Amino acid sequence: MSRSIFGTDGIRGRVGQFPITPDFCLRLGWAVGKVFGKEKDCHVLIGKDTRISGYMMESVLESGLSSAGVDVTLLSVMPTPAIAYLTRTLRADAGIVISASHNPYYDNGIKFFDGFGNKLNDATEKEIEFALDGDLTCVDSKDLGKVSRLEASNGRYIEFCKATVDRALSFNGLKLVVDCANGANYHVGPKIFEELGAEVISIGVDPNGTNINYQCGSTYPAMLSEEVIKQNADAGIAFDGDGDRVIMVNELGEIVDGDEILYIIACDRLRKNTLGGGIVGTMMTNQGLERALSSLGVPFVRADVGDRYVLELLREQGWSLGGETSGHIICHDISATGDGIVAALQVVASMVVEGKRLSQLTEGFIKSPQVLKNVACEGLTENILDSKYIAEALDSKTHDLAGKGRIVLRKSGTESVIRIMVEGEDMESITSVADDLAKTIQENAG
């Protein structure tokens, strides 16, 4: 292979374009089978979100794995964290998720977990890429992998999620709006909160293959805010298409993002003396969280953007809680990966235990003004931000902030966009900075 196919969260792209094509996915399944099954009999789980292309990709990955002699269990539609959990508890050798997370339906992707439910390390990804260069072969007929379906997978994950909340705790009396983004959580998310006693109003639970993430879910919380107000609900919960992100809405219809969710969970664990160290955020995490945690005596460190880097730093520090502003929240003492349902459960449980409204749980966290912009750029290259003109503009704007703010420019690992984050003392000035940088990028990114 002349270039890496793995981004920050597996492999992702437009369906029908490399690498999200039937022929490549067939070869990928075979290569994964060769890597994981090279020294022993091998068993791999495959799950997917609700995209129409998931059926095509599931069948060709299954064929590739079987041709390499690997047994396959199909989980059908399941959220990403559920596949990580089942890979671990069923003692499979690897798990595969067919999903492009928060992207539109016409994108898709493939994410991998090892037998412990962890995302693959760089060495294993490189080994898979090396195997892709080999000649696609097929084992003898008697050695072909067998394929089966696990019908009880939903129930296993539902019980796991419920068990993350104290058994004596009930959500009875709470009214929650749950938006599943027409994605992988549509059949498990509402049920979990209902079984814990809450009254649940479900939206985004009618997937048709093409409406995943469309004007709903964690990337479009406006509908959730409206529904919370309309229903006079206590809170709203919005997942993304594959269920590993969560954004919430308080009773006033105000967005509660990943930084605020981290703050709430951290405060809850401080009260229970279960925090066990500090918090890992990213370069995009609002400075207000860092200040709020500092006032509580809680250490805070920043990782590169991407939940895999948050997880790596959590392990390095020996801590258990971290996440991203976008809603990837990792409770590493509970789950091996980001889990939107688990994170939301911790927040709702804190509401019940504290007897407080969701808006009250964030009162100790004052955000710094922050502007986020995405600049679409086709044909992105790794060194696009090394452009002389972009670098000069960045230096100039950083100087303008005079040490009273931050600028982060980064190439997205999941979409063809440059992400701009500007943080400072007032919204007007940082909006101007972000707009000027966006214009410079648009003029020089070609």
131, pLDDT greater than 80:
yes
99, pLDDT greater than 60:
yes
CATH topology of domain 257-367: Alpha-D-Glucose-1,6-Bisphosphate; Chain A, domain 3 (3.40.120)
38 — pLDDT class (breaks 50, 70, 90)? confident
pLDDT of residue 368: 93
194, pLDDT greater than 90:
yes
What number is the average pLDDT over the span 51-67?
98
392 — pLDDT class (breaks 50, 70, 90)? confident
Give me 375's structure tokens.
Answer: 């600049």
pLDDT of residue 3: 52
pLDDT of residue 291: 94
Cβ–Cβ under 8 Å, residues 113 and 119: yes
Q: In what order do the strands lie in the sheet with 417-423?
A: 370-376, 417-423, 406-411
Question: Across all residues in the chain, what is the average pLDDT?
Answer: 93
Arch. (CATH architecture) of 11-151: 3-Layer(aba) Sandwich (3.40)
CA distances from 244 to 107, 327, 414 (A): 17, 8, 15
Domains of the chain, residue spans: 11-151, 173-253, 257-367, 370-444
pLDDT of residue 2: 41
Q: Which of 94, 111, 96 is nearest to 59 (CA)?
A: 96
Q: For 341-381, what is each residue's pLDDT tens digit?
A: 999 999 999 999 999 999 999 999 999 999 989 888 765 55
CATH topology of domain 173-253: Alpha-D-Glucose-1,6-Bisphosphate; Chain A, domain 3 (3.40.120)
What number is the average pLDDT over the span 301-330?
95
The residues assigned a catalytic role are 101
CATH topology of domain 370-444: TATA-Binding Protein (3.30.310)
Q: Which of 374, 368, 369 is nearest to 409 (CA)?
A: 374
pTM for this structure? Answer: 0.92
3-state secondary structure of 139: coil
Tokens 């039937």 label which residue? 22
pLDDT of residue 1: 45
What number is the average pLDDT over the span 186-197?
98
382, pLDDT greater than 90:
no
> How far is Cα 227 from Cα 92, in angstroms, rounded to an integer?
40
pLDDT of residue 446: 56
pLDDT of residue 39: 74
**Can 11-151 and 370-444 be said to share one CATH topology?**
no
